[in-house]
């Protein structure tokens, strides 16, 4: 059987300090592959550094920062291999990462593979092992902040996290790639939903592991991140018409989402997330409706609420990963 051929697409913005480690780790992989770096108009010498130190990496320089998903789409246009692999510029892959990530694609019934991102400062703990959904179609990182050994009993993900993902190129293109409405955050959730609705399956490659420094471009707990998160959640809720399921679902959405939005507004004095929530709702409702695949939801409301309430406890006890502070 012919080996699966892959191209790694990496979007980056002023990530020269991070890319050296990321690209060096990719250069040490156990399987041959190509790399396309999509430079979102960096001003830190990224393109020059890559040309000098990693001349085999193909660099696509954009004239403006178009965000994560749109940058990936531009890079995917250059892909001529069977598989598009996504790796963030703050990810350091183990030497056999690609080999193990691509292995499940030997099964023609698999179109998406989720790799395992480990917390850079606490590599025994998971950062993301794929995406899972609760009953409101809110996304959660499988295994987040749990010991990596517990992945043996974790359910299959709905889709991969965009920081460590493999997609069949044909399937990625058939559904239109990432939705251009997103700048960053939630685009991988939406893509996974559209691929699942099209009949594609995702599995996790539990031994395809990489360290993740998390949130190095925008900051994982920055005002920009909070605005983008609010937009993405609202857009998905609206595009998939989630609230139309009924009153109970609307109440569950309110219980999960609105306390956080109110904290942003009244405690942090940030009206931006609320404005972006409204904008995401308007834009999502303006798009053709997609069926909400509630059958993919594996996280009950009670568990989602527990996870939400657990964040303040982790912060108070000093057990919250540093990038959330």
Largest CA distance in the chain: 59
Asked if 320 and 245 sit in the same domain, the reply is yes
Asked if 58 and 115 sit in the same domain, the reply is yes
The count of structural domains within the chain is 2
Residue 218 is assigned to a structural domain of this protein: no
What confidence score (pLDDT) does residue 93 get?
A: 98
What confidence score (pLDDT) does residue 164 get?
A: 98
Residue 238 is assigned to a structural domain of this protein: yes
Asked if 57 and 205 sit in the same domain, the reply is yes
Asked if 281 and 169 sit in the same domain, the reply is no
Asked if 137 and 86 sit in the same domain, the reply is yes
Asked if 112 and 38 sit in the same domain, the reply is yes
Q: Which residues pair with 164 in a beta bridge?
A: 87
- State in Å, rounded, how far the first CA of the chain is from the last one: 48
- Between CA 298 and CA 105 the distance in angstroms is 24
Residue 236 is assigned to a structural domain of this protein: yes
Tokens 């594609």, located at residue: 200
Q: Are 83 and 108 within 8 A, CB to CB?
A: no
Give the tokens for residue 316.
């108070």
Residue 79 is assigned to a structural domain of this protein: yes
What confidence score (pLDDT) does residue 316 get?
A: 76
Asked if 162 and 36 sit in the same domain, the reply is yes
Asked if 277 and 133 sit in the same domain, the reply is no
Asked if 119 and 184 sit in the same domain, the reply is yes
Asked if 145 and 288 sit in the same domain, the reply is no
Query: Which distant-in-sequence residues (6+ apart) come within 8 Å of 79 by Cβ?
Result: 7, 9, 34, 36, 169
- Between CA 93 and CA 8 the distance in angstroms is 12
Tell me the CATH number at 170.
3.90.550.10
Give the tokens for residue 86.
């996504």
What confidence score (pLDDT) does residue 325 get?
A: 42
| DSSP at 125 | B
* pLDDT averages per 10-residue partition of the chain, 325 residues: 86 96 98 98 96 97 98 98 98 98 97 98 97 98 96 95 98 98 98 98 98 66 94 98 98 97 97 98 98 98 96 78 54
- Between CA 264 and CA 262 the distance in angstroms is 5
Asked if 174 and 73 sit in the same domain, the reply is yes
Residue 1 is assigned to a structural domain of this protein: no
Domain boundary (212, 246, 278) is at 212
Asked if 275 and 300 sit in the same domain, the reply is yes
Q: How far is CA 171 from CA 107, 154, 158, in A?
A: 14, 25, 15
Residue 316 is assigned to a structural domain of this protein: yes
- Between CA 251 and CA 12 the distance in angstroms is 38
What confidence score (pLDDT) does residue 2 get?
A: 60
Decide the pairing of beta strands 34-39 and 6-12. parallel
Q: Are 275 and 269 within 8 A, CB to CB?
A: no
Q: Give the residue numbers spanning the domain of 290.
A: 223-324
- Between CA 251 and CA 214 the distance in angstroms is 32
Decide the pairing of beta strands 6-12 and 83-87. parallel
């Amino acid at each position: 059987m012919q080996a699966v051929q892959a191209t790694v697409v990496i979007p980056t913005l002023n990530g020269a300090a991070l890319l050296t480690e990321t690209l060096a780790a990719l250069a040490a992989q156990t399987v041959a592959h190509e790399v396309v770096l999509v430079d979102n108009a960096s001003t830190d010498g990224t393109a020059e550094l890559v040309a000098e130190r990693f001349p085999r990496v193909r660099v696509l320089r954009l004239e403006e920062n178009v965000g994560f998903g749109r940058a990936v789409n531009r890079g995917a246009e250059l892909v001529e291999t069977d598989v598009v692999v996504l790796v963030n510029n703050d990810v350091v892959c183990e030497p056999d990462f690609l080999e193990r990530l691509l292995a499940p694609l030997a099964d023609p019934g698999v179109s998406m593979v989720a790799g395992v991102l480990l917390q850079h400062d606490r590599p025994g703990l998971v950062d993301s092992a794929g995406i899972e959904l609760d009953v409101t179609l809110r996304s959660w990182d499988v295994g987040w902040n749990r010991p990596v050994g517990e992945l043996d009993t974790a359910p299959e993900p709905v889709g991969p996290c965009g920081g460590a993902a493999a997609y069949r190129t044909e399937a990625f293109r058939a559904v239109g790639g990432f939705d251009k409405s997103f700048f960053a955050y939630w685009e991988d959730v939406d893509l996974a939903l559209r691929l699942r609705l099209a009949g594609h399956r995702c599995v996790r490659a539990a031994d395809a592991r990489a360290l993740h420094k998390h949130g190095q471009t925008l900051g994982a707990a920055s005002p920009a991140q909070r605005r983008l998160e609010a937009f993405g959640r609202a857009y998905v809720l609206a595009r998939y018409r989630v609230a139309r399921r009924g009153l109970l679902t609307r109440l569950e959405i309110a219980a999960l989402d609105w306390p956080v939005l109110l904290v942003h507004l009244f405690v942090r004095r940030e009206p931006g997330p609320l404005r972006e929530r409204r904008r995401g709702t308007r834009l999502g409702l303006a798009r053709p409706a997609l069926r909400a695949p509630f059958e993919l939801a594996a996280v009950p409301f009670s568990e989602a609420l527990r996870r939400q309430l657990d964040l303040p406890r982790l912060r108070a006890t000093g057990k919250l990963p540093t990038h959330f502070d």
